[in-house]
Amino acid sequence: MVAVMDDEFKKFIHALRDVQLGFQDRSMELEKRISQLEGEKNQLEENLTRERGAFQLELEKQREAAALKLKEVRAKSEAKAERLVTASVIS
């Protein structure tokens, strides 16, 4: 009877050890996946930062171009207004 109990206990210990090893394997797989995902996240953050900088630069260029165009339009309008005033004074 003691031998049977001892044999069952050994089987239980072996099964428990298999479960423990399985958990360790799964834990290692999950840690590897977490590390991989963190690397991907860091890469995406770097890309986002780079793209945000490029976007800001492009936006600033567009603002400068719009300001320049506005100056040109104002100058043309002022010149036209002066011509009209001069023409009306002359006539």
Note the pLDDT tens digit of each residue in 54-71.
999 999 999 999 999 999
Residue where the block lists tokens 């040109």: 72
Residues of the chain with pLDDT > 90: what percent? 66
Q: What is the pTM of this model?
A: 0.58
Range of the domain at 80: 1-91
The tally of domains found in the chain comes to 1
Which pLDDT score is estimated for 47?
98
What gap in Å lies between CA 86 and CA 91, rounded to an integer? 9
**For residues 43-58, average pLDDT:** 98
Residue 36 confidence (pLDDT) above 80: yes
What gap in Å lies between CA 90 and CA 71, rounded to an integer? 28
What gap in Å lies between CA 13 and CA 5, rounded to an integer? 12
What gap in Å lies between CA 77 and CA 90, rounded to an integer? 20
